[in-house]
Structure 1
Amino acid sequence: MSQPSDDAEFANYGWQSVRVRNLRGFRDSGEIWYAPVTLLFGKNSSGKTTLLRAPLLLKQAMYGPNSNEAMLSGPEVDFGSYKETVLNGQVSKDVQLTAVLATGGAAHLPSLVREVNPAYLDLFNRMQIDLVIHWNQRSGHSQYQSIAFSNPDTRRKVLSFDRTGPEEFEVKAGSRRLVRVPFPLSLQSLRYTEIALRDKGDDRETVAISFLMYTLSMSLQNTTQDMIHIGPLREKPKRAYNTDQPVVAQSGGSVVAVLRSGQGVKQIAQALQMLGMANSVSVRKLAPGFVAVTLQDTRSGRFDNLADVGFGVSQVLPILATLATASSFNTILIEQPELHLHPEAQGRLADVMYSFAKARRLKLVVESHSEHILLRLQRRVAERVIEPDDVAVYFVDSGRVKRAGIDRYGKLDNSAIPNGFFDDDWEDLMLMTKAAAEAVDRGD
């Protein structure tokens, strides 16, 4: 898979947007477009976590078994049973996940594919995938009902796969029916199934479609595996870490593994300095198979065990380790990064996250309650440090999603903010800013 060579290409590379229908509290979320830093705000149980985790359903589908059953609960994400997953428990409704992805361009496609149907090229610059999950009352489980690949600009369906029976799905090019395939419908079927079209003289199209199925599936795999999720409950700090135990992603153990490898340590230390938490971080051998994480105090220069410093440090370290070592062009989903951080550190964390996003060409999707993170990013826009389009802010409220634009002066569109969302001091600040702007307009 080719990679973009400049910022213009990066803007059109990887995960671009996600949309859900009939998922948890959302009848239709509308499209959530990803910027270098995308912020999801909402009250407790508003649905912002559902939106953040929804792309993991597609990632999970890539690695599930080649069977009829859709994976709603698995290693990447757990939405529970179908009744818990679908809107208002209405199992008669289908859940739909839509994602727009860019996979590196169509230059690598053989000429045969272009000759058979030029529309196929649309899928290898930017493609929209629609995954429909259906509850099968007879079998008593959820299943992938259809998988469709479309041109996201024209919304024209290019290639689609529709389940027609327990062990059968139909392949369509646009609205033209091509063939029925005797396999259960799954993303694995697209990757490994060889098809044979029925009409004589269609060997070229048979080869082209089979190649497309495999290539689309591999493009999805490459793009979805580049998505990393950091949950809200990071591991508590330990006085000693066992280096012989398996490493769990985004855990204290993974931080130790990163620090021991030396990869990204300089960037992690710089981030800790920006946060005012430590001058440096390292691992120290305690005994065979055991090490300690130590941090150098910013004032005294003393080296302290991670277990003896503020709890917030241990909660932010897995985030920093992930951002410092993630491959370029990855999408990182982060839940509540501000946990156990005081307001000043929350503002500095916004600077750190944006710095990593731009330097390493990452897309960060952040679920948060922190007005301090938002204010810091608004301030940087006003200071011309950040472009307004580099930050996307969404507010989630009772199944509705609104994007709040930020102008070049850092001003947020307050009409998108649900009533009573922020604390009184934030509301007072917004009212004060509004009153000051009105005074300037009046010439007071």
Structure 2
Amino acid sequence: SQKFLEFIKEYGKESGLFKDIEINSFGDNPASPFELKIVSEDKSLNICNVGYGVSQSLPILLELFAREKNTWYAIQQPEVHLHPRAQAALGDVFFNLALQEKKRFFIETHSDFIVDRFRLNVNKNKDSEVESQVIFFEQKDGVNTAHPIEILPNGKYQDGMPESFYSFFVKEDLSILGLQ
């Protein structure tokens, strides 16, 4: 549908993955074979000739768009093969669908870019009814523990997070700055 194409094109622009999509049908029937071309700058390339990030994210976006409101999704590592800007754009997509269509997500990710963009959107829409949390899994002394960490209406994490949640990043930053 035209609405889906607009949704995909908007994601392509926001993510920096592409500027446009061309669909060349090889018949008049909706079930006819087709070729999908990705337009980037001044080139139009078959989807087979662009990075995996584009071809891996399009099926996810199709599912997100095609299903009705109030649908639950379980998505595993949607950030695979995507650069940080495209990962952040997925955070926008997830938030906007949660806000506008009441879609719900259980996303297994290692991407701070997705989570941080989602949190930024929560902050920008403080009055929204989008509830969210991160479940941080920690292994300590051979025992795995799941820590639910609420994302507050201001986009910040709740107090009382496990120390190990961000300690690695803090230590790395302090080392880079020569403070540790």
Smaller-chain TM-score bracket: 0.7 to 0.9
The equivalent of 1:303 in structure 2 is 44
Residue 277 in structure 1 maps to residue 14 in structure 2:
no
Residue 346 in structure 1 maps to residue 91 in structure 2:
no
Q: Does the Cα contact within 8 Å between 2:127 and 2:153 map onto a contact in 1?
A: no
- Aligned residue type for 2:101: R
Ranges in structure 1 where 5+ consecutive residues have no aligned partner: 1-260, 431-444
Supply the distance in 2 between the matched residues of 1:423 and 1:280 (Cα, whole angstroms).
Answer: 41
Residue 291 in structure 1 maps to residue 31 in structure 2:
no
Q: Does the Cα contact within 8 Å between 1:350 and 1:377 map onto a contact in 2?
A: yes
Q: CA deviation at 1:383?
A: 3.5
Change in Cα spacing, 1:426 to 1:330, as seen in structure 2 (3 Å) is farther
Q: Does the Cα contact within 8 Å between 1:274 and 1:352 map onto a contact in 2?
A: no
Change in Cα spacing, 1:389 to 1:360, as seen in structure 2 (3 Å) is closer
Q: CA deviation at 1:263?
A: 6.3
Q: Secondary structure at the match of 2:114?
A: helix
Q: CA RMSD in A?
A: 3.0
Supply the distance in 1 between the matched residues of 2:173 and 2:124 (Cα, whole angstroms).
Answer: 19
Selected match of 2:101 from 336, 346, 360? 360
Q: Secondary structure at the match of 2:92?
A: helix
Ranges in structure 2 where 5+ consecutive residues have no aligned partner: 175-180
Selected match of 1:316 from 57, 60, 82? 57
The equivalent of 1:403 in structure 2 is 148
Q: Secondary structure at the match of 1:341?
A: coil
Supply the distance in 2 between the matched residues of 1:389 and 1:285 (Cα, whole angstroms).
Answer: 39
Change in Cα spacing, 1:279 to 1:429, as seen in structure 2 (3 Å) is same
Change in Cα spacing, 1:388 to 1:262, as seen in structure 2 (3 Å) is closer
The equivalent of 1:136 in structure 2 is none
Q: Does the Cα contact within 8 Å between 2:131 and 2:151 map onto a contact in 1?
A: no
- Aligned residue type for 1:402: H
Change in Cα spacing, 1:357 to 1:281, as seen in structure 2 (3 Å) is farther
Structure scoring higher RCO (CA < 8 A, sep ≥ 6) equals 1
The equivalent of 1:325 in structure 2 is 66
Supply the distance in 2 between the matched residues of 1:429 and 1:403 (Cα, whole angstroms).
Answer: 25
Q: Secondary structure at the match of 1:372?
A: helix
Q: CA deviation at 1:358?
A: 2.1
Q: Secondary structure at the match of 2:151?
A: coil
Change in Cα spacing, 1:262 to 1:410, as seen in structure 2 (3 Å) is closer
Q: CA deviation at 1:413?
A: 3.5
Percent of aligned pairs with the same amino acid: 25
1:74-116 Cα distance to aligned partner (Å, 9 max, x none): xxxxxxxxxxxxxxxxxxxxxxxxxxxxxxxxxxxxxxxxxxx
Q: Give the alignment of 1:95-174 within 5 angstroms.
A: none
Change in Cα spacing, 1:354 to 1:341, as seen in structure 2 (3 Å) is same
Supply the distance in 2 between the matched residues of 1:427 and 1:382 (Cα, whole angstroms).
Answer: 26
Structure with a larger share of its residues in helix: 2
Supply the distance in 1 between the matched residues of 2:116 and 2:171 (Cα, whole angstroms).
Answer: 12
The equivalent of 1:369 in structure 2 is 110
The aligned length equals 167
- Aligned residue type for 1:281: I
Supply the distance in 2 between the matched residues of 1:427 and 1:276 (Cα, whole angstroms).
Answer: 31
Supply the distance in 2 between the matched residues of 1:380 and 1:335 (Cα, whole angstroms).
Answer: 21
Supply the distance in 2 between the matched residues of 1:322 and 1:400 (Cα, whole angstroms).
Answer: 31
Supply the distance in 1 between the matched residues of 2:33 and 2:94 (Cα, whole angstroms).
Answer: 31
The equivalent of 1:7 in structure 2 is none
- Aligned residue type for 2:7: Q
Supply the distance in 2 between the matched residues of 1:416 and 1:264 (Cα, whole angstroms).
Answer: 39
Change in Cα spacing, 1:284 to 1:387, as seen in structure 2 (3 Å) is same
Supply the distance in 2 between the matched residues of 1:318 and 1:423 (Cα, whole angstroms).
Answer: 35
Q: CA deviation at 1:262?
A: 5.3
- Aligned residue type for 1:276: G
The equivalent of 1:335 in structure 2 is 76
Change in Cα spacing, 1:408 to 1:331, as seen in structure 2 (3 Å) is closer
- Aligned residue type for 1:294: K
- Aligned residue type for 1:391: S
- Aligned residue type for 1:400: T
- Aligned residue type for 1:296: V
